[in-house]
Amino acid sequence: MGSKSDAESGKKSKEQAEQELSAAEVLPPHGEALRECTEAQIHDLSCPGLYINRETSWLEFNARVLNEGLDSRQPLLEQLKFLCIFRSNLDEFFMIRVANVQRQYENHVPSTGPDKTPPGRQLAEIRRLVLAQLAQAQEHWSKWLVPHLRERGVRLVRYCDLTRKQQKFLDQYFADEVFPALTPQAIDPSHPLPVISALTLNFLVQLEDKHGVTRYARLKIPNNFPRLVFSPRSKEAKSYTSLGFSSNTRDNDIILLETLVQQHLPMLFPGMKIVNSALFRITRNADVEIEEDEADDLLEAVRDLVDQRRFGDVVRLEVAHSMPADMRRFLVDILELKPFQVYRVKGPMAFSSLMALYGLDRPGLKDEPMYPVLPKPFAEESGEAIFDALRAQDVLLFHPYQSFGAVQEFIRRASEDPGVIAIKQTLYRVGKDSPIVQALIEARRSGKQVTAVVELKARFDEASNIGWAEEMEKAGVHVVYGIPGMKIHAKLCLVVRRETQGVRRYVHIGSGNYNPSTAKIYTDMGLMTSHPGICAEVSELFNVMTGYAEKDDYTHLLVAPHGMRRAIVAAIRREVERQRSHGDGFIVLKCNQLVDKICIQELYQASQAGVRVRLQVRGVCCLRPNVPGLSENIEVTSIVGRFLEHVRLYYFHNGGDPTLYMGSADLMPRNLDRRIEVLAPILDPALRERVSREVLKPHIEDSRVYRLQADGSYTPPDPPKGEQGGVQYRMLEKFGCLAE
């Protein structure tokens, strides 16, 4: 990356200083890498061009999210929601994935992916794609959403657009409330640039003193004030509380907090001339590793990690598009960045925080409300009803169409049931207000044996998990922090109950987190069963997670890291044998990510043998479908819609006696090699048939899906996505979740 800024060379032009990555060429056009593969390489699967780059595949996924926000047929606040998700996804992508690629580039580490793309070329392509996507998002925001929201009474305005009465009141609000909380910080040799925490909004202010000397200062926008400031138009606000997000009337103008602060910057720098001011924001490397072998106390090590993340290496600098070049160079130099790390942003910075607008009480600007169904045994008042039902047959829950309240009721009633003697549960991302954790605490207080396996290293949820772990420990819950070097990603709850016939176990195995908030917006499945074999194996797995037990020979469950990949490969190969002997090989996989090279190669070989393979991969997919001689029997689709597709289902036809697994695992090296994951078989033939016919088949055959092409691009849904009738809408109708 040999390009240098003007500040470094003093010779190059302004345009040259803004080059992205001069020495690193962008990736070849879609499909070019594939065309370089020879027939022999396709046969032995050795050509890197047979595999799509992981980072560009992820950006293709985020482009699908963006497309939802650009769809003018969507309700206005739904469009806003998807634009916010798109920007939030980008923040995390830079914090984790781009930070990792940048580290590889700086340390001259070759590519670790099967596509073998050098890190420099990846960084260049990432920048090219991100800039193009940001331009689309900003144009839609400024030219479509803002004016149409204004027409519907959601008015985002500039300070100068306010009436004098509104301005006067906001001036007083700033002086009384905001001004005392602001701390301008000088930047000069005696005042070096203060450490700026990640993702905070800041002003860089260019000043001139009375001697004509240029000065710089940084001003952080406080994040404990509402970003959206509401001001009534027709009547004067009576108190400052009416400026916050407490007002849902249509008689409001809305300005951003930073707009109000910028208007009043002279109050913060008396005696100085403000030459210019502009917002900036930095993204830091959040992929901080814990040296577990060296940590005496994992809880303290994770707590330190949370603090360190705010001040990791800078990965990206976002600056307001209007920021002058000399101010940009000042920041680039003082932060020791390269030009390709700088992104000029039009419109609101930290866009994802505008999701607060989605909280407006404006149902006409949102999707039709849904009402999740609570299955009968979980709605009955009798505490015995759930256990009676599970002794009779397995139950499979499909969220959010079926209420996550069923899972909460299962755990709550277990905590209250006098016959229950023990509860064991894994906790990965439970949220900030968890009724499930409270139920575990109550169970312990009532004398039950309670074990919680808490994954402290659940990225970005560490602080919440630390808090819950400490609260449970205070209540006497046996809290375990997992296995060194592994993340515990399996979603398991085991209830041990003393009954008339003896001790019996009940199990919940899920694909999603025990989090009632995300359960409303993620599609997930949960299997509840009292099957003796499955329950016994879940018990054994808890012993592995909490003690020194070692086990890798499960009969029913597929458990990573020891046997899951091996079992999936064996199931794929059985379909190959069926195809050769009977011609009926058929595989359907529905998951979030498909990255694992070994699994991809097995699927390629299955296709070459004639097996029909249908894949539905929501996010990253490194497999190329529809390649002659390689994958012409593989079809890959992706659903991006109202709900985040999070279900994992693995179906193998097996000559008409199918095997169907559900659980928490995606086909990625990290899931298969460095996590405790569980896939559980759906053993009840009637339940398996119903899931295959009523859930898996409609999703795979839906016409309103994105389709992956051999060149790595996706074709959009046909017919148009904005029309009613996609599979998620049909599921809402099927389960009776829509109002009459």
Residues recognised as catalytic: 489
d(CA 61, CA 617): 10
Say how far apart CA 597 and CA 112 lie, in whole Å.
11
Collect all residues with Cβ–Cβ distance below 8 Å to 531 and sequence separation of at least 6: 394, 507, 556, 683
Distance CA 429, CA 586 (A): 35
Amino acid present at 531: H
| CA-based nearest residue to 222, from 268, 253, 189 | 268
Q: How would you classify the pairing of strands 314-320 and 342-345?
A: parallel
**DSSP characters over 458-491:** STT-HHHHHHHHHHHHHHT-EEE---TT-EE--E
Long-range Cβ contacts of 135-144 (<8 Å, 24+ apart): 136/66, 136/70, 137/66, 137/69, 137/70, 137/83, 137/86, 137/87, 137/351, 138/345, 138/346, 138/347, 140/69, 140/70, 140/79, 140/83, 141/83, 141/347, 141/348, 141/351, 142/346, 142/347, 144/72
Alpha helices of 71-179 — where are they, by DSSP H? 76-93, 99-106, 119-140, 146-151, 164-173
- Euclidean distance between CA atoms 389 and 420, whole angstroms: 16
User: Do residues 490 and 562 make contact, with C-beta atoms less than 8 angstroms apart?
Assistant: no
CA atoms of 249 and 237, how far apart (whole Å): 13
Nearest to 573 by CA among 598, 600, 596, 605: 605
CA distance 241 to 231: 10
545/541 Cα distance (integer angstroms): 6
Q: What is the DSSP letter of 194?
A: P
Tokens of 519: 């359960």
Q: What is the DSSP string of 22-55?
A: SSSPPPPSTTHHHHT--HHHHHHT--GGGB--HH
Report the residue count for the chain. Answer: 740
CB neighbours of 399 closer than 8 A, spacing ≥ 6?
Answer: 372, 512, 519, 522, 523, 524, 525, 526
Backbone angles phi, psi at 548, to 5 degrees: -110, 15
Nearest to 133 by CA among 47, 75, 65: 65
* DSSP label at residue 216: E
3-class DSSP state of 398: strand
Alpha helices in 336-418 (DSSP H): 376-379, 385-392, 405-416
Residues forming beta bridges with residue 207, ordered by sequence position: 215, 274
- Is the C-alpha dihedral spanning 404, 405, 409, 415 positive or negative? positive
Are 506 and 391 within 8 A, CB to CB? no
Written as six digits, the tokens of 73 are 């047929």
Sheet holding 155-156, edge to edge: 155-156, 252-256, 228-232
Helices (H), 359-404: 376-379, 385-392
